[in-house]
Structure 1
Amino acid sequence: MPSLDDLKKRIKSVKSTQKITKAMKMVAAAKLRKAQESAEKGRPYSQKMQNIILNLTKSINDPQNAPKLLVGTGEDKKYLCVVLTADRGLCGGFNSNICKLAKTNFKKILGEGKELNIITVGSKGHDQIKREYEKYVIKKFSFKDKKNISFNEADEVGKEIISLFNQNKFDKCIIFYNNFKNVITQIPQAQQIIPAETKNLKENNNENFSYEFEPEEDEILEDLLPKNISTQVFKALLENAASEQGSRMTAMDNATRNAGDLVDKLTIDYNRSRQASITKELIEIISGAESL
């Protein structure tokens, strides 16, 4: 059984840890509100742009002459998977859930005999992915030095994706991230961005427009399509930012309560040990007195 001094040190240590987890919970809660607002404000823009792209895809009559970013290469042999995670830990299962979904897709792609390339965004995801799929990782991004993720970081990832596409490195591109629902729930998502999946188009008749282009269609799409890739990546990063803070807030709340329960248990053990020690000393004193 641990000594009284050991129990006292353990209680002090757990209480110190509890202060840290409580502080981290409060910081995450403060950051969550801003991150959630950014994610919710970004959804309508990214969804509208995605709907325009998808409608354009449906209206194409000659896929051979259509922009490849819009319709793809027509092949299904090479895949690029972009796994977006956090650069920091202590956020529950946030990073693990994304990597778990990504690995499931990796196994399916490789099981079908197709070529796989991986880009990781976030050091925590890279650490998990490289254990099994390091030879497939062709590029890694880390924005640990950035206090807030901006469109510039998303555009950097988007340009890398487009550069690889222009080099015929892949036929389809899928991004993996966590979709923020609420503080408790963050849902891992796999979204194909090249080519855009028409099945994701909202069944809304008001969205099925016939577009007239001014200036020329090719000139607009040349600017719009690369921007859409960066926009979808930016949306995923915003969703991740909110999901990360929500998951960290929940994890730190659980850790704080568990630390409190452990302190209570250790305090009971300490009191019992102290009582047993006092009783033993009294017995020794009484026995010594009676022997005289």
Structure 2
Amino acid sequence: MNKTVLITGTSSGFGASAANYFAAQDWNVIATMRDTGKTTSLSNSGNIFITKLDVEDETSIRNAVKAGIDRFGKIDVLVNNAGYGLFGVFESVSAEAVKNQFAVNLFGAMDITRAILPHFRENNSGVVINVSSGAGAIGFPMASVYSASKFALEGWSEALRYELASLGIRVKVIEPGGAPQTGFLNRVGGESTGLSMIDDYLPFLEQTGKMFHAMAETSDADAVEKVVAAIYEAATDATGRLRYAPTTDIQPILNARRSTSEEAYQKFTDNIFTQNKR
């Protein structure tokens, strides 16, 4: 029997591309999204089943998992992809906006995973793939709340990995760098509600904006393909590997974070992110 993957956030970006890729590899795909009217990015493959799933609605989550099992009989892989970026200096972000960021990026993934784990335990197998970000390993200016949600996602994933290993269930984390082709940055303005402008930060915002623009210029042109390939590898390689960082644009900072001293890392990132070069 063909294997089955449930992917959240498939209306666009990594989610849509991953759904199409898995379907092309003869997988059954449960393509979920908050608004099932936004399916134009999905192929017309007969093995893609589209169903509603709002990561902030537990009833919607349970219904989507049940509908997928009813359609295909079994789910082998869960890809927690749904998420968005909240960008702005922390002082300007409302408490409500912070809670919304965590509700989607962290609590939604937790709730979906909790809903599907009984099915995985029943089958003594399964893979949970959490799509994080380079910002889940590195704190970026203007992204403190987004980074916090992704840091939490990665910490939870790492701990969960130990809990589930004895049950034959693997946990994986994908850490993309910048991927402007997904439209992720275009959505930021619409999602970043609850922000106020504080004039004292304007010089910092101008400098940081130039830095992000320069980083966007060096983003991998084929980032989406690399990330989708990494998701598929994580689903199929049958290893205990936890983290996959498929794009080259984020590698220098990840390497500095994980392979150098704290002092060396801070000096390296200060030269990138701050006006006061060390």
Question: Is TM (by shorter chain) over 0.5?
Answer: no
Q: Return the structure number with greater helix share.
A: 1
Larger of the two Rg values belongs to structure: 1
Give the TM-score taking structure 2 as reference length.
Answer: 0.29
Which TM-score applies when normalising by structure 1? 0.28
